Chain A
Amino acid sequence: GDSVTQMEGPVTLSEEAFLTINCTYTATGYPSLFWYVQYPGEGLQLLLKATKADDKGSNKGFEATYRKETTSFHLEKGSVQVSDSAVYFCALTGYSTLTFGKGTMLLVSP
């Protein structure tokens, strides 16, 4: 079945550091890929998406490129802020449901 693997957290960075959160997937067919963000005590918000190979999703300075050859969708940001501290989930579509990774906590210190 479909699966998503994310790097274990927490990821601890200083403000203005470069961020990479790795995500790889296993799926049949050609799924769409998503990154969601969950701030403390809140629901999940869609951060960005990519619907086909080589698409780049971007939002709020975050980017991720759909790499079919490496089955990856790594999340990057050039300069993180304290306000980016949250849990990040990688996900892919199935016919009716989403398959989520386990989430990666990001902690950014001033």
Chain B
Amino acid sequence: SQTIHQWPATLVQPVGSPLSLECTVEGTSNPNLYWYRQAAGRGLQLLFYSVGIGQISSEVPQNLSASRPQDRQFILSSKKLLLSDSGFYLCAWRAQGSSNQPQHFGDGTRLSIL
């Protein structure tokens, strides 16, 4: 069966520091991969998605970036964090070519910026 892993589960970082959040999927090949942010008490905001290695689509302009160095690895990064980057970050995957199928989510990373 397929599983998705995100780490770390929680992270506290100072303003201006760099960020790297990692997400990996097991048990499937060539998945679509997604990064979302959820601010406290609010809905989901799609940040990036990827349909293949090295292919990244950005949904909103911001100081975050994403990379997909391997088929089942998706990384969210920042060079200098802002206070507004605080939130709950969720990674998700969906099988390639199955537009009527759901996305499956990881357990999330709670990021606090001090």
Contact = CB atoms under 8 A, between A and B. Distances in A.
A57 to B, nearest CB: 11
B100 A32 contact: yes
Contact of A43 (B43, B59, B102, B107): B107
Given A43-B108, A44-B90, A96-B51, A49 B102 contact: yes
By secondary structure, the B interface counts as strand
B101 A98 contact: no
Interface residues of A, number: 24
B107 A97 contact: no
A96 B43 contact: no
Contacts of B102: 32, 34, 36, 46, 49, 91, 93, 98
A89 B51 contact: no
Interface stretch (A11-19, A20-28, A75-83, A99-107): A99-107
A16 B49 CA distance: 40
A45 interface: yes
A32 B32 CA distance: 17
Most chain B beta carbons < 10 A, residue from A95, A97, A100, A102: A97
B107 A42 contact: yes
Contacts of A100: 43-44
Interface string B17-57: 00000000000000010100000001110100101000001
Contacts of A45: 105
A58 interface: no
Given A43-B105, A44-B92, 14 more contacts: A31-B100, A32-B101, A32-B102, A42-B107, A44-B44, A44-B105, A51-B100, A93-B100, A98-B102, A98-B103, A101-B43, A102-B42, A102-B43, A103-B43
Interface of A: 31-32, 34, 36, 41-46, 49, 51, 89, 91, 93-98, 100-103
9 contacts: A32-B101, A42-B108, A43-B107, A46-B104, A89-B44, A95-B99, A96-B51, A102-B43, A103-B44
